[in-house]
């Protein structure tokens, strides 16, 4: 029985050769491959700046820093996300402020986000959940109304678009992840895109300890050609050339990857769309389907998940709502019922297998297995 998981990388010989070429060369850490990857990534999305990071979490940390998040500042985001979206605010002494989702998009609801705006709001961080492009226009106008910036967490949404605009172009900054289950992988890796030279500069400073070697940026007089200055508290968040070579090679396949993901979603939609009790993911032409989150009757979800596992189909549940993790409960006093729509979605969701290497036959097997389980459960 072929085992299926909810996500998996696709690596070919071209990718392997690209990494091997770096290993045979002189540069291992940030060097020419990083520069080439950043340039190609920016060109792909049509943005001025793409700044790579060691992972998507570091990319979010850098974006919040560049946006000016400091002790006590607030970042409004969705509880229906991976922990990193909230944690990155905590790393800076900031405070994640949650607002509930719109069940029609499974993304942060702009109307709910508006209610959470305060004088401390520095960032609004919508998550383009599963690859569905969040309503960025509304978040931008909200942010403009209160002097905040929009950092889109697009770790699910590489290759997604809004009309003619790629996700990554519209928000003040957009964060991506290259974890193996994401659209393209570097093993571990991340990127922030922006059109602002000022923000790009802050991002680059932050990922290299806060140290600059650029004489024009020095605040003191250089002691000599060796001189460098640490100006802010940054981190070592560099991507290596080994990772970047893989990323560059993967990027050349991204169109193909996204096309296949959309075809897989269309096939699932056609197989589940008319099954009573099931809710297929929200539709959008620009959806890039990192995940295929299918909603089941809440009472049956657990049993269905377990039965799928027995049939060799390892789904995943995205996500235990962030505010209900013990750390968040204890630190901020969150409890069940605080964000009922996110909690309800969590209670019904299973992410089905969704990755480039899936065959149509695999997808039909997943659908058939679910049909059989549901008939038996009834």
Name the residues that contact ligand PLP, by CB under 6 A.
55-57, 81-82, 84-85, 127, 153, 155-156, 177, 179, 190
Write the CB contacts of 105 (distance below 8 Å, at least 6 apart in sequence).
Answer: 129, 132, 134, 135, 282
Burial of 122 per CB tally in 10 Å (0-12, 13-18, 19+): buried
Cβ proximity to ligand PLP: between 85 and 369 the closer is: 85
Angle between helix 298-310 and 340-348 (nearest 10): 40
- Asked if 135 contacts 157 with a C-beta cutoff of 8 angstroms, the reply is no
Cβ proximity to ligand PLP: between 53 and 272 the closer is: 53
Least separation in angstroms between residue 196's CB and ligand PLP is 21
**Taking CB positions, which residue lies at the least distance from ligand PLP?**
56
Burial of 31 per CB tally in 10 Å (0-12, 13-18, 19+): middle
Least separation in angstroms between residue 319's CB and ligand PLP is 8
Write the CB contacts of 215 (distance below 8 Å, at least 6 apart in sequence).
Answer: 222, 227
SS3 327: helix
Least separation in angstroms between residue 84's CB and ligand PLP is 4
**How does DSSP classify residue 279?**
B
SS3 293: strand
SS3 261: helix
Cβ proximity to ligand PLP: between 84 and 245 the closer is: 84
Least separation in angstroms between residue 184's CB and ligand PLP is 12
Cβ proximity to ligand PLP: between 190 and 234 the closer is: 190
Residue 133 CA to residue 117 CA, distance in Å, equals: 22
Cβ proximity to ligand PLP: between 63 and 370 the closer is: 63
Cβ proximity to ligand PLP: between 106 and 142 the closer is: 106
Least separation in angstroms between residue 229's CB and ligand PLP is 29
- The pair of three-digit structure tokens given for residue 211, joined into one six-digit string: 């140290």
Angle between helix 56-66 and 197-207 (nearest 10): 130
**How does DSSP classify residue 127?**
B
Least separation in angstroms between residue 378's CB and ligand PLP is 34
Least separation in angstroms between residue 175's CB and ligand PLP is 7
Residue 71 CA to residue 343 CA, distance in Å, equals: 29
- Asked if 173 contacts 195 with a C-beta cutoff of 8 angstroms, the reply is no
Least separation in angstroms between residue 37's CB and ligand PLP is 15
Q: Which residues, in sequence order, are bridge partners of residue 55? A: none
Cβ proximity to ligand PLP: between 57 and 105 the closer is: 57
Cβ proximity to ligand PLP: between 186 and 212 the closer is: 186
């Amino acid at each position: 029985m072929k085992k299926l998981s909810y996500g998996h990388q696709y690596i070919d010989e071209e990718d392997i050769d690209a990494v091997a070429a770096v290993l045979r060369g002189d540069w291992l850490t940030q060097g020419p491959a990083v520069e080439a990857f950043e340039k190609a990534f920016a060109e792909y999305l049509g943005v001025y700046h793409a700044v790579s990071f060691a992972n998507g979490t570091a990319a979010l940390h850098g974006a919040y820093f560049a946006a000016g998040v400091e002790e006590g500042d607030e970042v409004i985001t969705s509880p229906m996300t991976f922990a990193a979206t909230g944690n990155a605010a905590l790393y800076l002494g900031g405070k994640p402020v949650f607002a509930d989702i719109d069940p029609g998009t499974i993304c942060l609801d702009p109307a709910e986000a508006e209610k959470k705006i305060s004088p401390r709001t520095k960032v609004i961080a919508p998550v383009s959940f599963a690859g569905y492009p969040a309503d960025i226009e509304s978040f931008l106008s909200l942010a403009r109304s209160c002097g905040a910036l929009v950092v889109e967490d697009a770790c699910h949404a590489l290759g997604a678009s809004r009309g003619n605009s790629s996700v990554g172009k519209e928000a003040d900054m957009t964060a991506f992840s290259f974890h193996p289950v994401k659209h393209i992988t570097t093993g571990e890796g991340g990127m922030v895109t922006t059109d602002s030279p000022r923000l790009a500069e802050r991002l680059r400073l932050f990922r290299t300890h806060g140290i600059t070697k650029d004489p024009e940026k020095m605040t003191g007089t250089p002691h000599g050609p060796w001189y460098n200055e640490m100006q802010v508290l940054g981190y070592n968040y560099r991507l290596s050339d080994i990772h970047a070579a893989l990323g560059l090679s993967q990027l050349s396949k991204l169109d193909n990857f996204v096309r296949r993901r959309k075809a897989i979603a269309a096939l699932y939609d056609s197989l589940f769309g008319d099954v009573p009790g099931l809710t297929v993911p929200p539709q959008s032409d620009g959806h890039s389907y990192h995940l295929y989150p299918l909603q089941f009757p809440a009472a049956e979800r657990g049993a269905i998940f377990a039965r799928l596992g027995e049939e060799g189909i390892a789904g995943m549940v995205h996500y235990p709502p962030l505010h209900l993790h013990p750390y968040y409960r204890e630190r901020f006093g969150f409890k069940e019922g605080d964000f009922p729509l996110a909690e309800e979605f969590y209670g019904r969701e299973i992410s089905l297998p969704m990755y480039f290497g899936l065959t149509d036959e695999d997808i039909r097997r997943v659908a058939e297995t679910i049909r059989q389980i549901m008939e038996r459960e009834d």
